[in-house]
């Protein structure tokens, strides 16, 4: 990897055979803030790192989403903003003429060997540090500086690149998105020029992580294929859906509990028609704020929380089901967003098969059916909203 220093911006991407293996990312500084942008099919993903320490995400036309704020990296002076993790895999497509789209602009292409992943971490250094300040010792293996610049407030912004062998965790992310979830893009016709990648964002002990996973031919379906599958209405079958009542507590930066979010126990029969997606009502999601632990006029962002529970169909459950919760307090109102999670049940992956599910079939589950946003105030501390799931019984693609 080649070091680029003292530049306002960098464009970069992992590469295979001398060509970009994913969409190209641009990272640049303006004043005391840093921005990251990637253009992809259907829109853009933009991350903004503000001088205040807050970090925001905008994806396509979606509204602004709060990410975890700048976090200390180990015991040293560096702060971690986010990590871009490029997970390449065999059979994945590559962007069509991505390098030509730059015209006269320059992008750094970083060759990634088979079986490896490129990690790119944006970190913020201490005020007054020199440009050659040593990188954090917490990076293992040691990283290389791809880009760095001095911000107007005197801090150093640096992009650190590392090449790590694909471990089981990251192979699992690839399998989940390409084989289990089976993200698809519907096009008028199939073409070699079409390229689809998935951006999955989550929070870990090390801060914000953005997974970038290029997909293969399995992700593209033509309108002709869809039309052929819809010629005849599919049969219907009834399945039993269950989940236990579950709660999660939100915590302020001072470690005081400020709210409880809960979903109810559900045990119901759901009728699905093969090939059709159906929204199912799963009760009410509730949020109750503890106003005694909130200071009127105070503002803060809640560290993202993971909401874990165990939805199952005919007794078969998913190996891991988690919704991410992001929240902020504006001095009067607690505003919360609960992200959706998807998964597919296939008999080949189940210890006890679902009797009514054929070997070539799957049930795709999305809960909630879309991002849920709820808010409660100091005056009205309790709120609730409809909790929907989306279920699709279909042939495996």
Which H helix or E strand runs over 174?
A: helix 168-175
30-69 pLDDT, tens digit per residue, is: 999 999 999 775 568 899 999 999 999 887 555 678 888 9
- pLDDT beyond 80 at 231: no
pLDDT at position 223, please? 55
Task: Measure the CA–CA gap between 33 and 28, rounded to whole angstroms.
Answer: 9
- Do residues 197 and 214 touch, judged by C-beta distance below 8 A? yes
Q: Average pLDDT of 372-395?
A: 93
Dihedral angle sign, alpha carbons of residues 81, 168, 44, 15: positive
Q: What is the pairing mode between strands 207-214 and 43-49?
A: unpaired
Alpha-carbon torsion, ordered 73, 66, 371, 333, to 10 deg: 130
Between β-strands 382-395 and 372-377, what pairing exists: parallel, antiparallel or unpaired? unpaired
pLDDT band at 383 (very low <50, low <70, confident <90, very high): very high
> Mind listing the pLDDT tens digit for each residue in 68-107?
899 888 777 899 999 999 999 999 999 987 877 777 888 8
Nearest to 272 by CA among 220, 227, 309, 236: 236
Q: Is the pLDDT of residue 235 over 50?
A: yes
Which residue reads 């990272």 in tokens?
A: 27
Query: What would the pLDDT profile of 148-192 be if each residue is shown by its tens digit?
Result: 999 999 999 999 999 999 999 999 889 888 887 777 776 666 777
Residues in CB range of 44: below 8 A, 6 or more apart: 37, 38, 58, 59, 60
Adjacent-strand bridge partners of 339: none
């Amino acid at each position: 990897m080649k070091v680029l220093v003292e530049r306002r911006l960098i464009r970069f991407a992992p590469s295979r055979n001398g060509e970009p293996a994913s969409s190209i990312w641009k990272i640049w500084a303006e004043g005391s803030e840093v921005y990251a942008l990637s253009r992809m099919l259907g829109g853009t993903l933009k991350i903004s790192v503000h001088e205040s320490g807050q970090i925001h995400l905008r994806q396509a036309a979606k509204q602004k989403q709060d990410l975890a704020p700048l976090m200390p990296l180990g015991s040293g002076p560096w702060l971690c903003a986010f990590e871009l993790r490029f997970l390449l895999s065999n059979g994945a497509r590559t962007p069509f003429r991505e390098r030509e789209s730059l015209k006269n602009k320059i992008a750094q292409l970083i060759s990634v060997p088979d079986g490896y992943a490129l990690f790119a971490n944006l970190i913020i250094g201490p005020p007054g540090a020199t440009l050659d300040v040593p990188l954090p010792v917490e990076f293992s293996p040691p990283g290389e500086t791809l880009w760095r610049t001095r911000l107007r407030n005197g801090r150093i912004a640096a992009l650190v690149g590392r090449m790590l062998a694909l471990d089981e965790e990251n192979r699992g992310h690839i399998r989940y998105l390409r084989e289990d979830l089976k993200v698809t893009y519907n096009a008028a016709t199939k073409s070699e020029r079409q390229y689809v990648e998935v951006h999955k964002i989550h929070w870990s002990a090390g801060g914000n992580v953005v997974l970038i996973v290029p997909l293969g031919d399995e992700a593209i379906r033509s309108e002709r294929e869809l039309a052929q599958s819809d010629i005849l209405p599919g049969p219907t079958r009834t399945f039993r859906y269950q989940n236990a009542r579950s709660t999660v507590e939100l915590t302020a930066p001072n470690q005081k509990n400020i709210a409880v979010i809960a979903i109810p126990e559900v045990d119901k029969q759901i009728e699905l028609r093969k090939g059709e997606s159906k929204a199912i009502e799963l009760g009410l999601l509730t949020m109750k704020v503890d106003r005694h632990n909130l200071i009127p006029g105070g503002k803060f962002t809640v560290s993202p929380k993971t909401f874990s529970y165990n939805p199952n169909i005919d007794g078969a459950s998913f190996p891991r089901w988690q919704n991410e919760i992001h929240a902020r307090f504006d001095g009067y109102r607690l505003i919360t967003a609960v992200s959706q999670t998807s998964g597919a049940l296939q008999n080949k992956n189940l210890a006890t098969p679902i009797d009514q599910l054929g070997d070539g079939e799957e049930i795709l589950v999305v809960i909630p059916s879309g991002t849920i946003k709820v808010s409660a105030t100091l005056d009205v501390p309790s709120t609730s909203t409809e909790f929907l799931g989306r279920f699709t019984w279909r042939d495996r693609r």
